[in-house]
Amino acid sequence: MILIIFVALLLRTWDLDLRPMHGDEAINAFKLADLLIENQYNYNPNEYHGPALYYFSLPFLWTGNINNITEFNAEILRAIPLTFGIGLILLLFVFKTNQTRDHLWFSALIAAVSPAFVFYSRYFIHEMMFVFFTYAFVFSFAGFIEKQSRVMSISSGLFLGLMIATKETWTIIMAAFALTIFVLYLFKLIPRDYFRNVLDSKIDWMFMVASTGIVILLFYTSFLNDLNGLSRFLDSFSVYFNRGIQTDQHNYPWYKYLEWILFYRSGGSFFSELFVLLCAIPGIIFVFKNPDTDNFVISGKIIAIFSLLNLMLFSALPYKTPWNMLTFWFGFIVLSGYSLAFFNQKLNQKKQIIFWVLISAGFLQLSWESIRINYVDYDRASNPYAYAQPVREIEELVESVHQIVEKNMEYAGFYSEVIAPGNDYWPLPWYFRDIKNIGWYNHVDTLQAPAPLIISNTALKDDVLYNIYQVPPPGRRVMYMPYRDHSFVVRSGISFDLLIQKNAWDNLN
């Protein structure tokens, strides 16, 4: 186990700040700063997901003695999903009662090297925490069905509450989970005695519901500081329902998740985690074919149907982002481990040699892809998980702006403005968080004099020039210099120009 955790840590912790900050990570950092500095969090049902990420991040900041957003850094923020990413592997061992030792090792090793799990363990968004709580709930609930233990019922309730407090997609996950239980019951895939016993333990159910309720109440009311948070939590249902079925952005065909994870082609390169699915398919067959005495029978069947239904539900919704794949993909990883353990036990010595050669090749391919997408192509189109990802060239813009600001420290009235349609300037607020006089706009305001330093989306070039040279009357027009003759690419398809007032330009030399 130590070796697996070592491999997982090695792949995840190296150069944690290598990838430029994503816009979503930057926004999460600002939200976290509000909670840290002003001790204020108000749930917004329209964006930014649930409160759990921010509250669970606080101890990391306290440990790092961080008191201000300027003291934030990418490493400390990304250490949070990283911890949950490692926690997800450990979760397999915590709930080991349902699984054989071989099975655990195989599943844990695949999770340790899976490119998707390595990538999103280094990404300060809600997803890794969400997958952790989802599977903590699934394993607990499977344990509850199997043993009707009170500890498992309370643990199911707590983790369900935390899942709900993390991200609104819990509704899809729970729809898949409820359907899973229904299918297992209807087709008698789990002996009905289990269900009868579970339904009889009413007090356990009360404990489960109460623990879920308490967690929701505490998190969505900001620990009883904002009771209206509960009504906003209820509002989120309709917001996310509408977004799921009717979306102008992130609208992809049903097969997009399969394309991203299994057959992703970009230019000359090809990416795939097909090895996991190839191993998981026999695993799904085995959990239903093997006798009920097998010690993975209940959680195995739950995970198999749950993962398949999750894949179907998420694929059916037009709204798709690659990190949503993690929930069903982890289920397939668990099932892959199950089938590999099964083959390892059943094959004779001769076939085992072939088996190990194939398995080693599969693990090496996954590890290689992990290294490639996390350390080489972390911002490129050849990486299916780098979604709306700022590119490494952003550093040139950041450095240039800092240089200009530094050289104009003594220039009275010097300030900067960033202009981008739709406020699409993230993650620049993260990179310019140390710059004091900087304003953020979504359009060129012709009623206001242009700032000495203009950082504007290339699409607004004409508007910016109009505001500089057409709006002011003759004699009051100020000369501006372009910092360089071509734009700065911030992310694929989005670029910015730097225009500097002549006096400020002179201070550079």
Partner 1 sequence: MKFLKVIKITAILLMISLTFAFAQDKKQDLKPVDIKLPKPMFIGTPQNMQVPNLEKPLGKARPPFLAPAGTINLAAGKSVKSTDEEPIIGEIAMITDEDKEAGDGSFVELGPFTQHVTIDLGQKSDIYAVVLWHFHKQPRVYFDVIVQVADDPDFIENVKTVFNNDIDNSSGQGIGKDMHYVETSEGKLIDAKGVQGRYVRCYSNGNTNNDLNHYIEVEVYGKPVK
Q: Where do contacts with partner 1 occur on this chain (CB under 8 A)?
A: 23-24, 27, 30-31, 47-48, 248-253, 265-267, 318, 321, 380-383, 386-389, 409-415, 417-418, 422-426, 428-429, 436-442, 458-459, 461-462, 485-487, 489, 491-495, 497
Burial class (CB in 10 A: 0-12, 13-18, 19+), 220: buried
What DSSP character marks residue 20?
P
What 3 state SS string does 83-106 have?
A: HHHHHHHHHHHHCHHHCCHHHHHH
**Beta carbons within 8 Å of 350's beta carbon, 6+ residues apart:** none
Between CA 395 and CA 389 the distance in angstroms is 13
Minimum distance of partner 1 from residue 306's CB (angstroms): 26
Minimum distance of partner 1 from residue 228's CB (angstroms): 19
- Residues 407, 68, 500, CA angle at the centre, nearest 5°? 25
Minimum distance of partner 1 from residue 460's CB (angstroms): 11
Closer to partner 1 by CB, 191 or 439: give it: 439
As given in the structure block, the two tokens for residue 181 are: 């239980």
Minimum distance of partner 1 from residue 239's CB (angstroms): 11
330 and 137 Cβ atoms separated by less than 8 Å: no
Minimum distance of partner 1 from residue 95's CB (angstroms): 32
- Bridge partner list, 441: 419
Closer to partner 1 by CB, 44 or 344: give it: 44
Which pairs with CB-CB distance under 8 Å and at least 24 residues apart come from 172-176? Answer: 172/244, 172/310, 172/313, 172/314, 172/317, 173/134, 173/310, 173/327, 175/313, 176/306, 176/309, 176/310, 176/313
Closest listed residue to residue 342, CA positions, set 385, 387, 281, 396: 281
Closer to partner 1 by CB, 196 or 436: give it: 436
Minimum distance of partner 1 from residue 126's CB (angstroms): 11
Closest listed residue to residue 120, CA positions, set 91, 81, 83: 81
Minimum distance of partner 1 from residue 290's CB (angstroms): 41
Between CA 285 and CA 236 the distance in angstroms is 38
Cα separations in angstroms, 499 against 17, 455, 473:
29, 7, 20
Minimum distance of partner 1 from residue 413's CB (angstroms): 6
**Beta carbons within 8 Å of 459's beta carbon, 6+ residues apart:** 421
Closer to partner 1 by CB, 273 or 497: give it: 497
Closer to partner 1 by CB, 330 or 431: give it: 431
Minimum distance of partner 1 from residue 415's CB (angstroms): 5
Closer to partner 1 by CB, 337 or 384: give it: 384
Closer to partner 1 by CB, 301 or 320: give it: 320
Between CA 163 and CA 174 the distance in angstroms is 10
Closer to partner 1 by CB, 275 or 431: give it: 431
37 and 68 Cβ atoms separated by less than 8 Å: yes
If one counts every other C-beta atom within 10 angstroms of the C-beta of residue 288, the result is: 13
Closer to partner 1 by CB, 171 or 352: give it: 171
Minimum distance of partner 1 from residue 417's CB (angstroms): 7
Closer to partner 1 by CB, 4 or 460: give it: 460
Three-class SS state of 471? coil
